[in-house]
Structures are given as structure tokens and as C-alpha cells.
Structure 1
Amino acid sequence: MNSLILVLSVIIIFIIAYATYGSYLCKTWGLDPKKQTPAHTMEDGVDYCPAKAPVLLGHHFASIAGAGPIVGPIQAAVFGWLPVMLWIVIGSIFVGGVHDMGALFASVRHDGKSLGEVIHSTMGDTGRKLFSWFAWLTLILVIAAFTAICAGLFVSTPAAGSTSILFIILAIAFGFFVYRKGAGLGVSTVVGVVLLFACIWLGMRFQFTAGFTKSTWVIILVAYITVASVAPVWILLQPRDYLNSFLLYAMIIGAVLGLVILHPTIEAKSFVAFNTGNMNYLFPMLFVTVACGAISGFHALVGSGTTSKQIDNEKDVKLIGYGSMLIEGVLATIAIITATYIATPELGELLSDGGPMNVFATGIGNFMQSFGIPFETGKVFTSLAISAFALTSLDTATRLGRFIFQELFDNRQSADEKANVLTNKYVSTVITAGLGGLLAVMGYAKVWPIFGSANQLLAALALLTLAAYLKKSGKSNKVAVIPTIFMFVVTFAALVLLIIQKSADFATNWILVIIAAILLVLAVVLARFGYKTLTETTEEKIKG
């Protein structure tokens, strides 16, 4: 199979899907460009802050992308590249795209509040609390997985760590000049991107983080996300994600250009086996391993957590919600190509020395070499790009965890009542980031399977919430109901298999087994609530 034909076919299919199915969703759900968004009606300069579509697209895409669409598809390649690609394409268009756009839309229509609050309006307070606990536990796993991935990458590629620190300083300066000094976005972007690549050169030239251990990086990263979680979005989150998006765009363009010139043949088998050993069955494990490459519950938390508070106009929901998922599908496609054109012995060496991120960076480095960029430069640049996005997912996940934790313990009936100490943003941030950091010490390889299952089950719950909201609003919810059923079946099965698998070595994996069991119980209860809500709504409509 020619890799160039594969990636171009996916891009064309996604463009058609965006123009047709994406527009159909807008019309069915009734997006209204004239309706004021929470970013304007509730603007506070900290969390609620309107952002222009290109800036918010950069922030949202950077937040949801992270390392997920790279790690997941490469790990899933053990089943063969064809099943992975089919799920990436079908999942992105009909499941992940609907999920992301729907979560963003529902949140915008609920004052930019989290999906937990949307559930409150459809399934009651008990449903809200159960979902919030589920979401918070999933975010702990997100923080753990991405902290471990970043720490490992920074140890193996010190230039990535050094440059990431310089990025943060640049982002703060960019945010200050654009949002507080009124500098024009166009000129600031040109200057910012030039300085961004200057940071890359400096990071490669002066690797001042060389010698940092993985434990040191875990501590640094936990400290960073703690600060990032409570800082105003305009000073760090928005500008850093916006500037970082140019890194990813450049990486994708470089990869596609390299594929056009090199167009390597995919060496791996299209299909390997249904069971690759140790209870690793294609169904359901393929669908939870690919994760962010086709659908991710984390996306719903981002959309309803930070992005919905920054939407300038409802017409931007399609571009930012549906469009970002399709772009991520392209990235996932490139990721699977980097793993499947490399010969099996070399692939094994790369996986053992740096994991899927190392495979991806090596593949893109080879692609860029085809048009004159030295292999090492291309590999380091790719490592920097994916580490930047993993960091973005990290600070976004921590902020979201802080929001949800505060909501869980905020029982005040009026503004005059004394707040619970756990609703304090600093306390809730320290608890969220600290627990994620502790789990990160176990390493991504142990955390990822549970994270993948929890993440996809969260996506099923988000789709269920969307279905209930659309039904309550008198709109057709078939586009959400069918994916909901499929994702529930997949993730229930995956969690049960993982609990059985991890229980074989309970002494080592006890904390993961317990978290998986808690998530499974919460999901079962929430599924019952959702089914009851959908059924009651239908009956009431018929009676009416």
C-alpha cells in the first residue's frame, strides 16, 4: 500500500465530511451566529474570555491533540494497519466529530459550564455528581499518562525539555503584548512564530536541561501545571497553545511533503490477528487503544471546560469542535504510517528505546530528510512539537480537573455562605496535580491501558449526555444515540478485560485495578440514569 495515497485519501474524505456532515449537524442542532456566547455574557478576564477563531482553534487543537493520536494508533498497529485506519476514518467522522462538536455546543448553551452541569439539567444532581467524579478520576489518569510521557521524552531528548521552558517564557510575553498592550494579532503572530523557531534553535544549541532525571522532570511538570491551572488564560494558556499550533501545522505539512516525495510503501501487514496475546483482543481493545485518534472523552472535557468559555460566536463551533477532530484524524493517520513503513526489527528497537513517541519522531525525521532537512534536526523538531502538545494537554487537563473538583464541593446556596476549603482553586489544583504526579511515577505503559478505557467510557457518557440534551431540546438525537451504544459496549468490555488482566498481578497493579473498578461502577450507574432519562423524555413527548 502506498502511504501517500492513504494519507491523501483520508484528507479528501475528511474535507467532504466537514462540508457535508458537519453542516448537517449545525442545521440539525440549530447553531445561531446571532446568539451571544458565554465568553461575552460572562466575561471575567480569567476563564471567560472571547478569542478569535484562529486563536481558539490553535488552543483547542493543541489541547486535545497532545500525544494521544500518536501513541494510541502506533500501539494499536499490533492488530495491523487496516483495522486502525478504518476506525480512525469512521470514528473521526461519525463518532469523535459528533462527540467533540456536541460537547462544545451543549456547554455553550449552558453558560460555558462543564458536562457535569449539562447532566444536572437532564439527569438531576445525582447524575451530575457521579459524572463529575468519573470525569475527575479520568483527568487524574490523563495527567499521569502525559506527565510520564513528557518526562520520558525530555530525558531522552534534552533539547525538547530546554525548548519547552523557553516556549513558556515566549507565551507569557506574547499574551502580555496582545491582550494587555493591544498589539495586532497578525504582526504579533509573525514575530511570535519567528521567536518560536528561535527558541527551538536555542534549545538545541544550549541544552541546559541535559542531565535531568525522569523524577526531576515529574516534579518540574507537576509544579508547572499547578501554576498554569490557576493563571489567567490570556497570559499562558491561549498564547502558548496558539503559538504551539504552528509547530504542529509545520510538522504535519513537513510530514505530508515528505510523504509526497518519499511515498514509502507500508511494510507491515494489513491485518495481523484478532488476539495478539495476553487477552489483547481486537474487539474491544483496538477501540480503546487508538483513543484520541478517533474519539476521546478528554476532548469533551476540553470543549466544555475551557473552549466553551472562549467561543466568540456560535458559528465557530463547527470549525473548532468538528474541524479539530478531523485534523487530529489526519495526525493519527500519519502516526500509523510512521510505524508501518519501518521494518519490524527496527520498530521493536525504537519502541523499547523511547516508546511510540520515538517511533513517530524517527519516522517524521526520515520523511523530512527527503526534502533536505537533516534527519537529526527533523527528529528533534518533531520531538519538540509533540512534547509541546503533550504539555498543552497537561495544563488543560489540570485546569479542567480544578474546575470539576471545585464544582463537586461547591454546595453554597447563596454567595454569602462560606465556601468549603476544597473549592479553593489553589487547594483543588494541588490535589489534582499531586495525585496525577504520583501515578506518573508508574510510567505511561502501565497507566495507558486504564487511561484509554476510562477515556473512551467518558466519551460514551458525553455522547449519552448530548443525546439526552438534544432530546430534551426537541431535536433529533440519532447521531448521538447510535455512537453512545457502541462506545458503551466497547468500553465496558475493555474495562472488564483490563481488571481481569491487571488482577493477575494485584500487588503491583492494585491502584489501577481499584480505579478501573470504581470507574466501571460509576459508568454502570450513569448509564442507567441516562437510559431512564431518554426513555422518560420519549414517553413524555409521545403523551404530549
Structure 2
Amino acid sequence: MQWFIFCVSLLIAGYFVYGKIVEKVFVINPQRETPAYSMNDGVDYIPMSKKKIWLIQLLNIAGTGPIFGPILGALYGPVAMLWIVFGCIFAGAVHDYFCGMLSIRNGGASIPFLAGKYLGRPAKHFMNVLALLLLLLVGVVFVASPASLLTNISTELLGSGSLGAGAVSEESTASGGNLLIFWTALIFLYYIVATLVPIDKIIGRIYPVFGALLLFMTFGMLFGLFFQGIPFFRTLGTDIGIADFFTNMHPTEAPIWPLLFITIACGAISGFHATQSPLMARCTENEKEGRFIFYGAMIGEGVIALIWCMVGLSFYQDQSLLSEAIKLGTPSKVVYDSAIGMLGLFGGILAVLGVVILPITSGDTAFRAARLLIADFFGYDQRNLAKRLTIALPLFAIGFWVSTVDFSVLWRYFGWANQTTAMMMLWTAAAYLYRNNKFHWICTLPALFMTSVCTTFLAHAPIGFGLDYQTAVMVGLIFTLCAHMAFFILIKPKTLEQNQNIKKLE
């Protein structure tokens, strides 16, 4: 228990201490007009209060990643908690803050524009393709997981009906496929509507309700661990010491490096956030709100990830049972079993609904971001509904086609694309700081780390080059060193006179 409290305390301290340092390095300008006012179009650029934006940002970035990822990461043992805490403070929250603030400084620009401006035109073209691919994958995979959980809930409710548990259970089992199709279609329909209408009409109004479910889910699961008297770290069957945080406890002995850092993305660092932060940058009223909105929302996601990591480490009797549950039904089975088991049917269903809204609220904004990304690339005005439809309808048609691909294959590509996008955003922020003679190491160091993670994974994974582990590690190290040298060779700091002229403009 004390380890969990210690980790949460570190996250909160990270917001107040390191978050303030990051803000000082960036140098905010509270007098500068934000795009929410200078570019107000009544659709995507709309001023909103910082509390509402924080909640929308949290719901946008927190899909199933900070739940499924930490559950899968729990197989490695308490080392997963270390990555969530330190990854969130020094990489993920920094990534989100600079993405949001650089977008504000550049008229609500998306990540491809930012990458092109600070890293060069080739980076812009690369990020256009990568970001669009990531958004499509996010939209698709964030349909499957909530549809599956909603199907489980529907089946459970039908099974407890008045016609008799046995008969209804048989009937509900037979109709499970139809229920899954129904929920999938309904979620896709919601995505279409939410993608097209102004951001304050649906997202800005119903997200507070979703937020209440999110809070119930988050703290309800933690309360369930206490109320049921479930020992923390029960799956490990021993008292946890400092040495255990550095021990690989995965049942299949899967290597921590780099798999843990790909497995736990959201909750530590996620490139998907780079596609979402510009959406809220277009609604932020003042630059001084940036730390609360962008850095703070990531810290909130880190807390959610820690709670679900603790559920993974504590709900089952031992590590092998956790592994078996994941094999039988993916992490969604762990979510469902633990919620119902600890909170009962009614409370468990509310908790599962809290999990369901996370991917749904990320999926709708993923398609919205994809629409805006395409519109920005072609310079296509989005104030007219008909023009929004010309982009949205083909986008959803492609998304539906992609959804027919095997889910496990989609998830592997999603994981790599997600962390590679994060790597590129960190290099973009590092280039901005280095060009402007600011302390760039707060972004350069995590950029180097993520470069090594992504290249090692691609070199070793079956979806990549399939090299043996030792060779893949060497390839990752060499590529990272080359990227480091290229950064300082290709990126040139501005002269003192150029910086003075920029300050006058700001």
C-alpha cells in the first residue's frame, strides 16, 4: 500500500515541481492572444474554460491505453509502476505540454506542421502519413474494446433476467455476435456525429457526464481493493522490496527492454496525445492555463494507469492466473472480472461503463483530428458541413474496412506507430528549444530514450525486421547515436539578433 501512495505522491509532486520547470523553460506569455479568439470559427476554434478543457483533454487522451497497457505491464511486476511514474513526469507530460503550447503559438497547428517547421519538410511529410495512420488505427481499435465490454454487460443483464438464468443465458450467448455488431455500429454512428458537429455541441456538453463515470471507475476500483481486503501485490505472493522493482517477473520472461515501454504507452507517454492536444490548444483561453491543461491531464492519466496496474498486480491469486485471464479474453476480461468481483453487479457495471467511455471519447476525437489533419494539409475550410462530410465519409469508410483486419495485428502496429509519433514530437520540441537557445535537454533526453525504444522494438518484433534480441538492441543503440549526432548537425540555433526580433513579435 505504501508503495502505491508513494508513486501517486511522486506524480502529484511532478506536476507542481517539474511541471513548473518545464513551463519556465518554455516561457509563457499571458498577454498573447490565443487561437481560440484570433481564429474563432464556431466549430473547432472556440474559447472554453480551463476546467472543461482539462476534462475533455483527459477523456481525449485516456483511451483503453492507461487501462489495458498497465494490466499487460503488470505481468512484468512492479517495474511497471516505475515506468508509469517516471515516464509520465519526465516524458509523457513534457511531450503533451510542448505539443499543446507549440500548437497555441502556431495558430492551433497540428503535429505535421510543427514537425515541418522545426525539423524540416521531410519530417512534415513523414508525420502527415504517420499521424493519419495512427489516428485511423486509434479510431478502429477504440471501437472494438468498448463494443466488447458493452456486449459483456448486455449479456450479463440478460442472463440475470426474470425468464430464468439458464434459458436467458443460452439465448444471450446465441445472440452475442448480434450484440457485438449492434454496439459496434452504434459507436461508429456516434463517432460520425461527434466528428462533424461543433466541438462544444456534443463533446463540450456530455463529457462532464462521462467525467463523472470516469471518476467513479477510477476511485471505485481503488476502493474495491480496500473494501474487499485484497492485499496489494497479491499476484506476486511476497512482500515487495526495492529490488523487486527492478526484477522482470513476466511469466514468459519477455524482455523488459523495449517491450514494457511499448506495452505501457498511455499512462507513461503516448504519441496519440500529440494528435489530440492541438484540439484543445484551439480552445485554450490563455497560455498560463497550459500547464494545468496539458501537463496536468497527463498526470491525471498517470494516476489512472497506476490504479489499474495495482488491480493487475492484486486482483488474482498469482501471476499465472493474471496471464491466463489475459490469454482467455485480452485485458478486457481482467477489467470485467475485477470490476464485477470487487464492486458487485451494479457497481461493477458502472465501473465498466467508466472504462467504456474512455476509448469512445478518444475514438471520436481521433476521427475529428484525422479530419482536421487532412483539411489542414489540403487547406480545406471546415466551417461548412458539406465540406466536412467530403472528408469524414471516406475517412469512416476506410476506418470500417480497416476494422475487418485481425485485432491483434492492428494492436501491434498501433503500439509502434503510437510511440514513434511520441518520439517525433519530442524531437520537434527539442528542436524548437535548441533553435531558440533554451534548455533543450528536457526534451532531447526523453527523445533519445524513445528513439532507442522504437528502433529496438522495430528491429526485434515480428511486425518489423525480426532480428535476434542482442542484434536488435545494438541496432537501436547505433540508430539513437546517429539521430543524436544528426540533431546537432542539422538543427542550428538562432542568433542573438534573431531571438530579439522574435521576442518583439511575441
Using a 3 Å threshold, how does the CA distance of structure 1 residues 540 and 39 change in structure 2: closer, same or farther?
closer
- 1:131-530 to structure 2, matched below 5 A, reads 131-158=127-154, 212-261=178-227, 262=229, 264-269=231-236, 270=244, 271-273=247-249, 276=252, 280-304=254-278, 306-341=279-314, 342-344=316-318, 346-348=321-323, 350-352=325-327, 354-368=329-343, 375-410=344-379, 424-499=387-462
SS in 1 for 2:235: coil
CA contact 1:74–1:336 (8 Å) conserved in 2: yes
Higher mean C-alpha deviation, range 59-68 or range 220-229: 220-229
Deviation for aligned residue 1:66 = 1.5
**One of 30, 42, 46 as aligned partner of 1:49:** 46
CA deviation profile, 1:170-214 (whole Å, cap 9, x unmatched): xxxxxxxxxxxxxxxxxxxxxxxxxxxxxxxxxxxxxxx987433
Mean Cα displacement is larger for which, 390-399 or 487-496? 487-496
Task: Please say if 1:90 is aligned against 2:86.
Answer: yes
| 1:366 positional shift | 4.2
Aligned length: 456
In 2, the alpha carbon distance for the partners of 1:488 and 1:327 equals 25
Distance 1:361 1:315, change over 3 A: farther
Equivalent-residue separation in structure 2 for 1:161 and 1:495 (angstroms) = 43
CA distance in 2, matches of 1:540, 1:42: 28
Equivalent residue for 1:58? 55
8 Å contact from structure 1 (residues 366, 378) kept in 2: no
Partner of 1:112: 108
Q: Do the aligned residues in 2 keep the contact of 1:149 with 1:444 (CA within 8 Å)?
A: no
Q: 1:159 to 1:464 in 2, by over 3 A?
A: farther
Given that 2:79 and 2:248 are in contact with CA atoms closer than 8 Å, whether structure 1 keeps it comes out as no
Q: Percent identity?
A: 28
Could you tell me which amino acid in structure 2 is paired with residue 293 of structure 1?
G
Structure 1: 5+ residue stretches without partners: 163-208, 369-374, 505-523
Deviation digits for residues 464-502 of structure 1 (CA, Å, limit 9, x no counterpart): 111112222332211000000110110112123234579
In the TM superposition, what is the alpha-carbon distance from 1:236 to its structure 2 partner? 0.8
User: Are the counterparts in 2 of residues 152 and 354 from structure 1 also a CA contact under 8 Å?
Assistant: no
Work out whether residues 230 and 426 of structure 1, in 8 Å CA contact, stay in contact via their aligned partners in 2. Answer: yes
TM-superposed CA distance for 1:131, in Å, is: 0.9
Give, in angstroms, the shift of residue 228 of structure 1.
1.5
**Residues 267, 254 of structure 1: alpha-carbon distance in 2 compared, 3 angstrom cutoff:** same
Structure 2 unaligned residues grouped into runs of 5+: 159-174, 237-243, 468-478, 499-506
Match of 2:24 in 1: 27
Equivalent AA in structure 1 for residue 398 of structure 2: L
Give 1:320 shift: 1.2
CA contact (8 A) 1:230 1:399 kept: yes
The Cα of 1:430 is off from its aligned counterpart by 2.4
**Aligned equivalents of 2:79 and 2:372: distance in 1?**
37
CA distance in 2, matches of 1:389, 1:257: 20
1:266 offset after TM fit, Å?
1.3
SS in structure 2 of the partner of residue 136 of structure 1: helix
| Distance across 1 between alignment mates of 2:96 and 2:107 | 17
Structure 2: distance between partners of 1:485 and 1:364: 38
Do the aligned residues in 2 keep the contact of 1:78 with 1:276 (CA within 8 Å)? no
Structure 1 pair 388/18, CA: closer, same or farther in 2 (3 Å)?
same
Report the 3-state secondary structure (helix = DSSP H, G, I; strand = E; otherwise coil) of the residue aligned with 1:343: coil
Amino acid at match of 1:100: D
Give 1:102's aligned residue: 98
Change (3 A) 1:130 1:500: closer
Aligned twin of 1:73: 70
SS at match of 1:291: coil
Deviations 1:516-544 (A, max 9, x none): xxxxxxxx9xx97x975653444665999
Rounded to whole Å, the distance in 2 between the matches of 1:16 and 1:491 is 29
Q: Secondary structure at the match of 2:439?
A: coil
- Residue identity matched to 2:217: M
Q: Is the 8 A contact 1:215 1:441 kept in 2?
A: no
How much does 1:93 deviate? 0.5
1:295 and 1:456 in contact (8 A); partners too: yes
Conserved? CA contact 1:70–1:357, under 8 Å: no
Change in CA separation of 1:391 and 1:491 when aligned onto 2, cut-off 3 Å: same
**Which whole-Å deviations, capped at 9, do the CAs of 1:314-346 have from their partners, x for residues lacking one?**
121111111111111111111111112112465
> TM-score of the superposition, structure 2-length normalised?
0.82
1:152 Cα deviation (Å)? Answer: 1.5
Tell which deviates more after alignment, 222-231 or 105-114: 222-231
Is the 1:139–1:298 Cα contact (8 Å) retained in structure 2?
Answer: yes
Change (3 A) 1:13 1:160: farther
Q: Secondary structure at the match of 1:476?
A: coil
Does the residue aligned with 1:87 lie in a helix, a strand or coil?
helix
- Structure 2 distance, partners of 1:160, 1:405, is 41
Q: Structure 1 residues 220, 495: CA separation in 2 closer, same or farther (over 3 Å shift)?
A: farther
Equivalents in 1 of 2:188, 2:5: separation in Å? Answer: 39
Q: CA offset at residue 70 of structure 1?
A: 0.5
4+ aligned runs moved over 6 Å, structure 1: 159-162, 501-504
Q: What's the offset of the Cα at 1:216? A: 3.7
SS at match of 1:268: helix
Picking from 7, 15, 18, the partner of 1:18 is 15
Q: What is the identity, as a one-letter code, of the residue corresponding to 2:371?
A: R
In structure 2, relative to structure 1, the CA distance for the partners of 1:539 and 1:299 (3 Å cut) is closer
Letter in 1 for 2:147: A
